[in-house]
Amino acid sequence: MRVGVLTGGGDCPGLNAVIRAVVRKGIEVHGWDFVGFRNGWNGPLTGDSRPLGLNDVEDILTRGGTILRSSRTNPYKVDGGVDKIKQVLADQGVDALIAIGGEDTLGVAKRLTDDGVGVVGVPKTIDNDLGATDYTFGFDTAVSIATEAIDRLHTTAESHHRALVVEVMGRHAGWIALHSGLAGGASVILVPERHFNVDQVVSWVERRFEKEFAPIIVVAEGALPEGGEEKLLTGEKDAFGHVRLGGIGTWLADEIAHRTGKESRAVVLGHVQRGGTPTAYDRVLATRFGLNAVDAVADGDFGVMVALKGTDIVRVKLSEATAELKTVPAERYQEAEVFFG
């Protein structure tokens, strides 16, 4: 059997760990051949590929990013895209695909399965917003990076007695903001799932100043003030219809400064949350996902995604995994509010 592997969407710590696990088990246990498609779905669209052997994955466990590179290519936005993929797979003798990605990449995987291509999905996103899995790899690393940044910002905020607004990633789901804010001892946490009242935020900030501490406000990039609109870096949409968000941190810092008379600054962590070596947790989770994805291919169980349920790795239908985003429930956010201000 010859198996193709690709990584799509935004890069994420742990992608290489999945590739390593897939290739090692596939070769050493089953004797399969592997081909890596470059740049997400653009690889099987254009035939851009490379062989993957044991030597190619020997030292990639700790490396961030992906040796296969990535893109946000959507083959269903390309004329004849599905037929091109089928032809490339036939020409290269590929019997099955393992697609590693988030909602967009796996959404394509689901549609390709419906169109007769054998695909197994592996959930990847730092946002932890994929349904049907308790956690995605990359999330723990992103939270750890954001938490370390918040820890460092506490000291400079206290030194200057200023408010610092930390903008983290999270378009529709506030998991990074919630977890890093709690772990970093933030004074306020703002998530996309709950529109915030600026007056209330200012009240929490002032309460913190009254205690003679400097407030740290963690805000997800997709968080919205009541009656407000998303802050966009650009109105241009990608192949999956997403615009680039950004700017809520700067806007909120300006509002806080204006309303309190206190110095306020914004810090946008941006892509640093995606970069660098994965945490031990993400390396292990990514490895387990890769090993179990190989089992699914060996069983001919296509149209599924491997998922974490409790401590077990299970298989769920791609249709279930991509049906809806996993967002922060109200009760989880309410638990955190006791620490605000």
Please write the tens of the pLDDT for every residue from 238-248: 454 555 566 89
Domain co-membership, 99 together with 209: no
Domain co-membership, 144 together with 269: yes
pLDDT value at 221 more than 70: yes
Domain co-membership, 256 together with 166: yes
Whole-angstrom CA distances from 78 to 73, 84, 323 are: 9, 9, 23
Q: 27 lies in which domain range?
A: 2-137+278-322
Summarize the confidence of residues 215-225 as an average pLDDT: 94
CB 138 within 8 A of CB 124: yes
CB 167 within 8 A of CB 266: yes
At 211, is the pLDDT very low, low, confident or very high (cuts 50, 70, 90)?
confident
Global confidence as pTM: 0.91
Binding positions for substrate: 125-127, 162, 169-171, 221, 265, 271-274
Domain co-membership, 153 together with 105: no
Domain co-membership, 215 together with 290: no
- Catalytic residue, chosen from 33, 48, 91, 127, is 127
> What are 290-329's pLDDT values in tens digits?
999 999 999 999 999 999 999 999 999 999 988 988 999 9
Tally of domains within the chain:
2
Contacts of 202 (CB under 8 A, 6+ apart): 255, 256, 259, 260
Residue 340 located in a structural domain: no
Active site residue 127: yes
End-to-end CA distance of the chain: 59
At 105, is the pLDDT very low, low, confident or very high (cuts 50, 70, 90)?
very high
Domain co-membership, 155 together with 260: yes
> What are 136-179's pLDDT values in tens digits?
999 999 999 999 999 999 888 787 788 999 999 998 999 999 99
Binding positions: 10, 103, 125-127, 162, 169-171, 221, 265, 271-274
